[in-house]
Amino acid sequence: MPRPEDSPWAISVTQIASHPGEHATIDTTLPAPSGIGDRIVGISQGADIHVEGSIDSIVDGLVLSARVSTRLQAQCTRCLTPIDRDWQADVTAFFPYQMQAEDKRANAAGHANRDEDIDIIAGEDESEDTYPLSPDGGTADMEALLRDTFAEHLPTQLLCRKDCRGLCPQCGVNLNEHPEHHHDAGDLRFAGLADLKARLEREQQS
Ligand SMILES: [Zn+2]
Ligand SMILES: [Zn+2]
């Protein structure tokens, strides 16, 4: 069994967990998980992901507020030029104290309807920005949070520059590199007809 604290995305919260009012700064570099994004816009596996912010201990859990920054590998959607660009997102996440919360619910439930209680718990667990602490409460694992952050905030397409001219739709030349490039209007429009005419003439001659 791998220990939670051995995960490459583990952050120790032992100092502040279950101490409401305590506060810790976080400034760490984590490896990018595999499979982030796609061929068009993605983050290379193992790339540095910088997480900088704070963790506050409140009564029923830990609140993380941080800026996540890294470098994106992408391809311009218009001209296909590779893009290597800084990227960042601000995240807020909640790590509830599972054990304490369950104790409280058990007390509160008392004679109350157990089914109803379970429904409420399920509803809370669906919240996107809530993540479990390790069973001993001493470790917050950031992998799921990072994955969700990228899934939610990564752009699906990028341009190499705002006014990218893209590729020539007729021959694929990069119009940023060849701004004067063009085809004479007659070239292509009549090319097909010229072929046909030549073929008809050949057939008539034979
Ligand atoms: Zn471009
Ligand atoms: Zn062209």
Q: What is the pLDDT of residue 202?
A: 81
Distance 44 CA to ligand 1 centre (A): 21
The interaxial angle of helices 114-125 and 98-109, nearest 10 deg, is 150
The pair of three-digit structure tokens given for residue 60, joined into one six-digit string: 């029923």
Q: What is the extent of the structural domain holding 196?
A: 165-206
Q: Do residue 119 and residue 205 come from a single domain?
A: no
Between CA 137 and CA 47 the distance in angstroms is 28
Distance 168 CA to ligand 1 centre (A): 12
Q: Do residue 51 and residue 80 come from a single domain?
A: yes
Residue 159 inside a domain? The answer is no
**Ligand minimally distant from the alpha carbon of residue 173:** 2
Between CA 12 and CA 4 the distance in angstroms is 10
Mapping DSSP to helix (H, G, I), strand (E, B) and coil, where does residue 30 land? strand
Distance 155 CA to ligand 2 centre (A): 29
Judge whether 40 and 80 are in contact, CB under 8 Å.
no
Residue 92 inside a domain? The answer is yes
Distance 168 CA to ligand 2 centre (A): 5
Q: Do residue 149 and residue 124 come from a single domain?
A: yes
Task: Reduce the secondary structure of 56-71 to three states and give it as a string.
Answer: EEECCEEEEEEEEEEE
Q: Which residues surround ligand 2, an ion (CB under 5 A)?
A: 168, 170-171, 173
Judge whether 110 and 192 are in contact, CB under 8 Å.
no
Q: Do residue 26 and residue 128 come from a single domain?
A: yes
Q: What is the pLDDT of residue 198?
A: 77
Distance 177 CA to ligand 1 centre (A): 10
Distance 162 CA to ligand 2 centre (A): 21
Which residue type, as a one-letter code, is found at position 153? H
Q: Look up the pTM and report it.
A: 0.73
Number of independent structural domains in the chain = 2
Distance 177 CA to ligand 2 centre (A): 12
**Ligand minimally distant from the alpha carbon of residue 188:** 2
Distance 167 CA to ligand 1 centre (A): 8
Between CA 117 and CA 146 the distance in angstroms is 30
Beta partners for residue 74, in sequence order: 41, 83
Give the torsion sign (CA, 38, 76, 169, 163): positive
Q: What is the pLDDT of residue 103?
A: 52
Residue 203 inside a domain? The answer is yes
**Ligand minimally distant from the alpha carbon of residue 184:** 2
Q: What is the pLDDT along the chain (206 residues), one digit of tens a residue?
A: 789 999 999 999 999 998 999 999 999 999 999 999 998 999 999 999 999 999 999 999 999 999 999 999 999 999 999 999 999 999 999 999 875 445 555 555 554 444 444 444 444 444 458 999 998 899 999 999 999 999 999 999 999 999 999 999 999 999 999 999 999 876 655 666 667 777 888 887 76
Q: Do residue 172 and residue 139 come from a single domain?
A: no
Distance 74 CA to ligand 2 centre (A): 24
